[in-house]
Amino acid sequence: MSLKKILIVEDDKDLILGMSIRLKSNGYSVVTAMDGLSVISTARKETPDLILLDIGLPAGDGFVVLERLRTNTMLMSIPVIVISARDKNGNSERSLKAGARAYFQKPVDNETLLTAIRTTLDELQ
């Protein structure tokens, strides 16, 4: 069985490092993108099983990315979990309406996030 691949879309290198270590130690393969512009090309190239998406990104915010993912036939079925420092009010609902499976506000509890990832990936099987 191959490792499930997760694309982390985040512009904070320290958060990428921390999430990568946590995900790899839990048996996931990790790829990253640091801005809204590179997400689609990275997702097309890497075909992740799940995307962890920050909303506040340079070169296109996460809502633009969500819209692009949902209108791209090759990528539309990849589940997205949003993790953002933005105020949950309004952004959570907007993320879910745009197709995200879940919304977490930073800082996110690692175990809660891992549970959401496992649940989302299990639903796809």
pLDDT digits (tens, 9 = 90+) for 36-49: 889 999 999 999 99
- pTM here? 0.94
For 11-69, what is each residue's pLDDT tens digit?
A: 999 999 999 999 999 999 999 999 988 999 999 999 999 999 999 888 878 999 999 99
- Say if domain 5-124 classifies as CATH 3.40.50.2000: no
Residues 6+ apart with CB under 8 A from 50: 4, 5, 6, 7, 78, 79, 80, 81, 117, 120, 121
Per-residue pLDDT, averaged over 91-103, amounts to 92
Q: What is the mean pLDDT of the chain?
A: 92
Domain boundaries, the chain: 5-124
Does position 1 have pLDDT exceeding 70, yes or no? no
Q: What is the per-residue pLDDT for 25?
A: 96
Q: How many residues would you count in the chain?
A: 125
Question: Does the pLDDT at position 89 exceed 90?
Answer: no
- Which whole-number Å values give the CA distances from 7 to 31, 46, 59, 92, 104, in the listed order? 5, 8, 17, 20, 16
